[in-house]
Amino acid sequence: MTPVFSSELLLGLLRAAAKSEVEICGILRARGARIVRADPAANVAVDPARHFEIDPAALLGAYRDARTPGAADIAGWYHSHPGGRPDPSPTDAARADPDGRLWLIVGHGVARLWRAVADGAVHGRFDPVCFAVADDRDEAENAKHIEKSRLAVQMDPTGRTLSSVRERDMSR
């Protein structure tokens, strides 16, 4: 199942990350493959410019909410790398449980998706994940004709549109 994001949701995170000197972070909620929300949480890390730690109260609240019937699942987490690439750091790998959850990382105006697994290709903990982007929230909710998946998207300088990043451009 290819995770589907709305461009609105991704642009919101990319814009918030671009404005912040500390790592922004939060919780991704999904219905099936569709990421329906990115709930921001306070970053309570000791050095929030270089690390993130989702406010435990927000985590607890999300777990509790996800257990109520009909609520969106906890698909994973997002955080940003101010001034850095959207690739998992060794610290991210050390702190990630190999639980199959998604990690959306935003950095340099680019968003990439990863999955925390036991034998990952990156730092032994993360595999890159292809995802699809729908033009708006309704489309993402009712995704029918979304086939195109990509490994990374970037925000244009106006902060209004997204485009795919070619794979060869990501390794630079």
Residue 89 as a binder of Zn ion (CB under 5 A): the answer is yes
Least spacing, CB of residue 54 vs Zn ion, in Å: 12
Residue 164 as a binder of Zn ion (CB under 5 A): the answer is no
Has 8 been annotated as catalytic?
A: no
d(Cα 8, Cα 22) in Å, to the nearest integer? 22
**Interacting stretch for Zn ion, rule CB under 5 A, among 69-77, 90-98, 120-128, 145-153?**
90-98
* The only residue of 4, 62, 72, 92 in contact with Zn ion, by rule CB under 5 A: 92
Q: Residue 42: CB partners within 8 Å, gap ≥ 6? A: 54, 55, 58
d(Cα 160, Cα 8) in Å, to the nearest integer? 9
**Interacting stretch for Zn ion, rule CB under 5 A, among 61-69, 89-97, 123-131, 156-164?**
89-97
Residue among 20 and 89 whose Cβ is closer to Zn ion? 89
**Interacting stretch for Zn ion, rule CB under 5 A, among 6-14, 92-100, 114-122, 163-171?**
92-100
For residue 33, give the amino acid letter: A
The site for Zn ion, by CB under 5 A, has a size of: 2
- Burial call 119-155: b when 16+ CB within 10 Å, e when fewer: ebeeeebbebbebbbbeebebbeebeebeeebebbbb
Residue among 17 and 72 whose Cβ is closer to Zn ion? 17
Dihedral over Cα of 47, 124, 34, 155: its sign:
positive
Residue 20 as a binder of Zn ion (CB under 5 A): the answer is no
Residues that bind Zn ion in the complex, under the rule CB under 5 A:
89, 92
Positions marked active-site: 23
